[in-house]
Amino acid sequence: MSSFSSQTQTNIQFAADLIRQAKHAVILTGAGISTPSGIPDFRSTDSGLWSKDEPLEVASLSTFRTHPERFFAWFRPLASQIFYAKPNPAHQALAELEKKGYLKSIVTQNIDTLHQKAGSKTVIEMHGTMQTLTCTQCYHQVNAKPYLAPFVETGEIPHCPKCNQTLKPDVILFGEQLPQAAWHKAQTEARQSDLMLVAGSSLEVLPVAGLPMQTLDRGGHLIIINNAPTYINVRADVIFSEDVSTILPAITERVLHG
Catalytic annotation, residues: 127
136: which residues sit within 8 A by CB, 6+ positions away? 64, 65, 165, 166, 167, 168
Single-letter code of the amino acid located at 246: T
Task: Give the count of beta carbons closer than 10 Å to the beta carbon of residue 146.
Answer: 11
- Angstrom distance (rounded) from CA 26 to CA 222: 10
Burial of 215-251, coded b for 16+ CB within 10 Å and e otherwise, reads: bbeeebbbbbbbeeebebeeebebbbebbbbbbbbbb
Amino acid type, 79: A
In sequence order, the β-bridge partners of residue 67 are: none
Phi-psi region of 243 (alpha: psi -120 to 50; beta: other; left: phi over 0): beta
- Contact status, residue 132 vs residue 141, Cβ threshold 8 Å: yes
d(CA 160, CA 140): 7
Does the N-terminal peptide bond of residue 87 adopt cis geometry, omega within 30 degrees of 0? no
